[in-house]
Amino acid sequence: MSAIRRIMSLAAMQWRWMAGGILLGFLAIAANCILMALSGWFIASMALAGASGAGFNYFVPAAAIRALAIVRTLGRYAERLTSHEATLRMLADLRVWLFRRLEPLAPAVLEGYAGGDVAGRLRSDVDSLENLYLRIVAPLATGALAIGAALLFVLYLDMAAALALALALLASAVALPLVIGRLSRQPGELATELAGELRSVVTDGFQGAEELFLLGAVDRQAAEVDRLASELVTAQEKLARIAALSQAGTLLCAGLAGAASLLAGTAAVRGGTLAPASLAMLVLFAAAIFEAVGPMAGALQHLPGMTATFNRLLALADSDAPVPDPPSPKLLPPSTDLSIHDLQFAYRDGEPVLEAFDLELSRGERVALVGPSGCGKSTVVEILLRFRDYRGSIRLGGVEIRDLAAEELRGLISCLPQRPHLFNASIQDNILIADPQADAAKLEQVVADAGLSGWVASLPAGLHTSVGEGGRAVSGGEGRRIALARALLKDAPILILDEPTEGMDSETERFVISRLVERTAGKSVLVITHRPACLVLADRVVTLNNN
């Protein structure tokens, strides 16, 4: 329950919409119950009046019945609109909150999760939270209001009937949901876990389809998907049987409530404390109120699965940030001189990657960092960007970078990482991420400096051409130049280029390097490369060894 309270507190901004949905749901249920009761009373009264020959004004109750039917229809429609608006707004808030919690965890924490798992939690798990309000909170709140009002109304008519109805409602709205919730806990939690695993396996399978074909592992992957799907269907079938049991129990309680109300009402009519026409009203009202009770049992059936989903989300969202900001960040220094002294770093397995590494990068200086694969060149970049913590000293303008706010520090650095990500959008959209307000002239300049002008001009849609999921619609060299244009558009005082010409042919490489020589004049540049052609970008070369 603590997880539910946590999630609901995050969605508190939408309390007006949620409260509106609950009140409109109560209005619709009340209109339906009163409509049924009034209809029963009206028919019984007309029959009695006809049998006795007494006069009866049927205009008012007839008009009230029509009005209640309209209120019930409009109320249910408005309740659906309001409750779904509340749900969509709540999901939007939760998705933004989760993304903000995940962003500081990349890459150090998220690399411990499969890509499909993270995507599933961010998308499918959050989507499943729509059941929190629609199927748990709203039905329970609406049902509680309706039951309280119904018992007061029946108590006004007859105390014995109210007691009988209270016992039936207690069994249907409390005892039955508790039993159903207990029966649903294990299959509900299992279904949530299996659904998460299945999403992860399917997503990873699609992302690595080429490798699976090359290694002949498609059948093995398909068998794993089939196993998870089969187990998930088994768990869902068990939940369906429990749901059927819940519905049967609710119908049984409703029937018993109607029978008990009929017996109690008959005794009251004989005793002269209840008008004969009110007996039909009492019985029909007792049956109608179970419209509010039915979803309450289903609410507790969804609770175990929801709790498991919440825990999956919170387990990721509550992970400790690998590089927390200092409680009182220092101001950015005026100088961008970078000094690295005795830098040390090791991954979780304890294997050291960097030991006693020193580097000086003065303002306006261009340095090339070279060395064999695995010696920690790209790790230096991640440390400078405050994606990973470190031992030793890294000073920017004389200030230790761990004493600076990470976002402010990254504002001074423009970076082309070793594995840049391209979003499933156009070339232009991918470049403008660095500066959404950049004008056409700036965009055209960075496209030219990255050696993209000729290629873009040959495309039918030009800069509006989509790069596909993960940049799969463009070649590796084209994707790298798009990422390079994005890094150049930021125009920060410090530029880090990790293998800037990887995947390019020699002619394109020479052109891009010549433009970078001009473009980076006056900037502090750190070039990480193993390609000799890129060394002309540097004033000096620093070799990093892994021994």
Q: For residue range 430-479, what is the model confidence (pLDDT) as tens digits?
A: 999 999 999 999 999 999 999 999 999 999 999 999 998 888 888 888 99
Judged by DSSP in three states, 280 sits in: helix
Please tell me the total number of residues recorded for the chain in this structure.
547
pLDDT per position as a tens digit, 167-220: 988 888 788 877 887 888 888 888 878 887 888 788 778 777 777 887 788 888
CA–CA gap between residue 124 and residue 196 (Å, rounded) = 8
Q: What does the pLDDT read at residue 340?
A: 92
Lowest mean pLDDT among 10-24, 38-52, 381-395, 459-473: 38-52
Could you tell me which of 356, 132, 163 has the C-alpha nearest to residue 257?
Answer: 163
Burial class (CB in 10 A: 0-12, 13-18, 19+), 374: exposed
Mean pLDDT of 409-414: 92
Task: Indicate the CATH number for domain 338-543.
Answer: 3.40.50.300
CA distances (Å), origin 438, targets 307, 357, 428, 461, 491: 45, 38, 11, 20, 11
- With 90 as the cut, is the pLDDT of residue 348 above it? no
pLDDT computed for residue 396 by the predictor: 93
pLDDT at residue 130 is higher than 60: yes
Which amino acid type is present at position 421? H
Please say if the pLDDT value at position 515 is more than 70: yes
Residue 308 pLDDT grade (very low, low, confident, very high; cuts 50, 70, 90): confident
Residue 158 confidence (pLDDT): 85
pLDDT for the residue 190: 86
Confidence at residue 178, expressed as pLDDT on a 0 to 100 scale: 79
Q: What is the pLDDT of residue 116?
A: 60
Q: Assess whether pLDDT exceeds 60 at residue 523.
A: yes
Sketch the domain layout of the chain as residue ranges.
Answer: 2-317, 338-543
pLDDT of 291 reads 83
The owner of tokens 């498991």 is: 308
Best CA proximity match to 450, nearest among 495, 493, 398: 495
Confidence of residue 1 (pLDDT cuts 50, 70, 90): low
Residue type present at position 474: V
**Torsion, CA 214, CA 218, CA 219, CA 225, rounded to 10:** 160
Q: How far is CA 10 from the centre of its chain?
A: 12
C-alpha 490/C-alpha 499 separation (Å) is 18
Please give the class, per CATH, of domain 2-317: mainly alpha
In angstroms, the CA 413 to CA 160 distance is: 77
Instruction: Pick the closest to residue 384 from 421, 409, 348, 411 (CA basis).
Output: 409
Q: Which two tokens stand for residue 372?
A: 């064999």
Q: Sorting pLDDT into bands at 50, 70 and 90, what band is 427?
A: very high
Q: What is the mean pLDDT of residues 72-78?
A: 93
8 pLDDT more than 80: no
Please say if the pLDDT value at position 60 is more than 70: yes
At what angle are helices 2-10 and 59-102 packed, to 10 degrees?
A: 90
pLDDT score, position 508: 87
What are the counts of helices (DSSP H) followed by strands (DSSP E) for the chain? Answer: 20, 9
Q: What is the DSSP string of 150-161?
A: HHHHHHHH-HHH
Are the beta carbons of 367 and 523 closer than 8 angstroms? no
Is residue 141 within 8 A of residue 22, CB to CB? The reply is: yes
Residue written as token pair 């409390």: 174
Integer Cα distance of 254 and 268 in angstroms: 21
pLDDT score of 458: 92
From the list 146, 187, 148, the residue with the least C-alpha distance to 29 is 146
The whole-number pLDDT of residue 135 equals: 84
Q: Give the mean model confidence (pLDDT) for residues 298-305.
A: 72
CB atoms within 10 A of CB 207: 16
pLDDT in tens, 141-167: 998 899 999 999 888 888 888 898 889
Contact 370, 542 (CB under 8 A): yes
Rounded to whole angstroms, how far apart are CA atoms 53 and 47?
Answer: 10
What is the percent of the chain with per-residue pLDDT over 70, rounded to a whole number? 95
Does pLDDT of 350 surpass 70? no
8-state DSSP, 137: I
